Amino acid sequence: MGAAAAPLPAAEGLAATRAETARLRATFPLVAAGVVASLANLLSTVLVARLLPAVAYGALAKLLGLFLVLSMPGSALMVGVVRRVAAWELAGRVAEVRGWVARVHAAGVGAVVVLALTMLASRGAIAHLLHLQGSSGIVEIVTAGGAWVLVSIDRGLLQARRAYQGLAVNLMVEGTVRTAGMIGLAVAGLGLEGAALGILGGEVAAACHARWRVHGLLGGGKVVPVATGGPGAVLAVGVDGAVGAGAELVTGHSGRDLVADVLTAVASLALLAVLQNADVIVLGVRAPGRAGAYAAISVPAKALVFWALVLANYLLPEATIRHHQGRHALAQLAHTLAVLAPPAAGLLGVAVVAPRWFLSLVFGSTYAAGAGAFWGLVLAMVCLCVTTVLTSYLLGVGWRWIVALLGAGGVGLAAGTVAARGQLVATARADLVVQAALAVVLAVAFGTVHRRSVRAGSRG
């Protein structure tokens, strides 16, 4: 971390405070869109559960887990994009962003086409590997995972520009098209294939919208560094007009930095996907007859993690930009956890007080067999939400040891769920033990990283 900055004059400090408040208000649409998108995602999955046979719904749960795993490289690229663009724009290298983005996006489109053709040729083998009765939906789900890469590139640019309203609209586009497609095509009689097509449609629509918004953003805007007190200290004026006190101007973000960021994020987010979905996949393989009941408790519980990932769209760029400016984002971390807390507490209360009533009401009595495991799985996902939020922050500041901690958690979860032998309650309890332990360890690691950053700043 760079040299300590000279204090801002009172007027500049007030301007920085007002800019910070305005930026926080600008995230409200993102939070609202996240709520709507989460509810739409939950609604579509619940309604499809009523339209599909139990076996097909269990297969859909596996395909959704596959989609999340395949989407991790895209989400990782989003982390790399945010870190690179934030560094370049603080260094005044805005013109380089446009050319780089065009090259990356062209490569991404080509890769998605190749991926779709490859899956078309190998869908039978993948169905056998996942213990599915047929290959319905596999090509669509895998292609949707590839399309998510394109969405991630442009969402990373929106995040780096703190264009939270554009992000909010993009989430709404994705959620609306996905929900309408899944339900409409399932109702039309396409079953599992229709649900998968709905997911693919949502990702394609989101990719097109995000590309359009980014094209407008890259048409202008630049960073203007303004010298202030002490060597190396500047007052960084971002593309949104926000003022950052004591920002040390960075010189850039090399290709090696980008590779390291993306590889770290790929590993971290892939491990988060494992932590989120290993129990569903393992139980589906060991006890296919119970997969539908476990999927019913998984959908609302794991929707909390989706919500945490939505909020990471705010926390990641804030942590990244402030890190480049020699500051921390503890207030933004607190805001994120505060917004995450109410739905987590509400769902946990329902899971403890009236699990069978809730599952019967939402999914039908056929899927209420997992009521005894519901509270344990919800609490496990609450812990995973904490892990997800802290991981987003640590990826933003470039801490790479996060991979080792998440890897240890993934190994522990795999061992625990296998040992549960397909029993619903035992699987949920194993998940809870591992997720709680990992959240505690990660919180301790985060505190250590933050203290070291503070000490480094004071020495500078």
Given a cut of 80, whether residue 326 has pLDDT beyond it is: no
Instruction: Report the 10 Å Cβ neighbour count for 259.
Output: 11
Q: How many Å apart are CA 333 and CA 319, to the nearest integer?
A: 8
Task: For the chain, give the number of residues.
Answer: 460
The mean of the pLDDT values for the chain is 78
Given a cut of 50, whether residue 389 has pLDDT beyond it is: yes
Query: 388 or 368: whose pLDDT is higher?
Result: 388
Given a cut of 90, whether residue 43 has pLDDT beyond it is: no
**Residues linked to residue 236 through DSSP beta bridges, in sequence order:** 225, 244
Q: How many Å apart are CA 243 and CA 457, to the nearest integer?
A: 19
**Residues linked to residue 6 through DSSP beta bridges, in sequence order:** none
Given a cut of 90, whether residue 300 has pLDDT beyond it is: no
Interstrand relation of 243-248 and 233-237 (parallel, antiparallel or unpaired): antiparallel
**Predicted pLDDT of residue 251:** 45
**Predicted pLDDT of residue 380:** 95
Which pair of tokens denotes residue 206? 């989101």
Q: What is the pTM of this model?
A: 0.71
Given a cut of 80, whether residue 375 has pLDDT beyond it is: yes
Average pLDDT over residues 396-424: 90
Q: How many Å apart are CA 181 and CA 187, to the nearest integer?
A: 10
CA triplet 292, 294, 299: central angle to 5 degrees?
Answer: 95
Helix (H, G, I), strand (E, B) or coil at 41: helix
Which pair of tokens denotes residue 284? 């589906």
What distance lies between CA 116 and its chain's CA centroid? 23
Query: CA nearest 138: which of 44, 45, 62?
Result: 62
- Per-residue pLDDT reduced to its tens digit, 194-243: 888 888 999 999 999 999 998 887 764 443 332 333 333 333 333 333 33
Given a cut of 80, whether residue 114 has pLDDT beyond it is: yes
Instruction: Report the greatest alpha carbon distance in the chain.
Output: 69
**Predicted pLDDT of residue 227:** 31
Q: How confident is the model at residue 9 (pLDDT cuts 50, 70, 90)?
A: low
- Per-residue pLDDT reduced to its tens digit, 61-103: 777 777 877 777 777 788 888 888 888 877 777 777 778 888 8
311 and 93 Cβ atoms separated by less than 8 Å: no
Query: 121 or 26: whose pLDDT is higher?
Result: 121
Helix (H, G, I), strand (E, B) or coil at 322: helix
Which pair of tokens denotes residue 303? 């929707």
**Predicted pLDDT of residue 70:** 75
Query: 5 or 457: whose pLDDT is higher?
Result: 457
Beta-carbon contacts of 319 under 8 Å, excluding residues fewer than 6 positions away, are: 329, 332, 333, 392, 393, 396, 397
Query: 254 or 271: whose pLDDT is higher?
Result: 271
Which pair of tokens denotes residue 231? 């060597």
Query: CA nearest 88: which of 251, 237, 247, 238?
Result: 251
Q: How many Å apart are CA 155 and CA 146, to the nearest integer?
A: 15
Beta-carbon contacts of 302 under 8 Å, excluding residues fewer than 6 positions away, are: 276, 277, 381
Q: How confident is the model at residue 352 (pLDDT cuts 50, 70, 90)?
A: very high
Beta-carbon contacts of 222 under 8 Å, excluding residues fewer than 6 positions away, are: 89, 92, 94, 239
Query: CA nearest 112: which of 178, 174, 204?
Result: 204
Q: How confident is the model at residue 322 (pLDDT cuts 50, 70, 90)?
A: confident
**Predicted pLDDT of residue 20:** 59
Q: CA-CA distances (angstroms) from residue 174 to 76, 81, 166, 180, 331?
A: 19, 20, 12, 10, 29
Given a cut of 90, whether residue 353 has pLDDT beyond it is: yes
Which pair of tokens denotes residue 405? 């901690």
Query: CA nearest 162: which of 96, 217, 94?
Result: 217
Beta-carbon contacts of 451 under 8 Å, excluding residues fewer than 6 positions away, are: none
Given a cut of 60, whether residue 430 has pLDDT beyond it is: yes
274 and 431 Cβ atoms separated by less than 8 Å: no
**Predicted pLDDT of residue 424:** 87
**Which strands make up the sheet holding 233-237, listed edge to edge?**
224-227, 233-237, 243-248
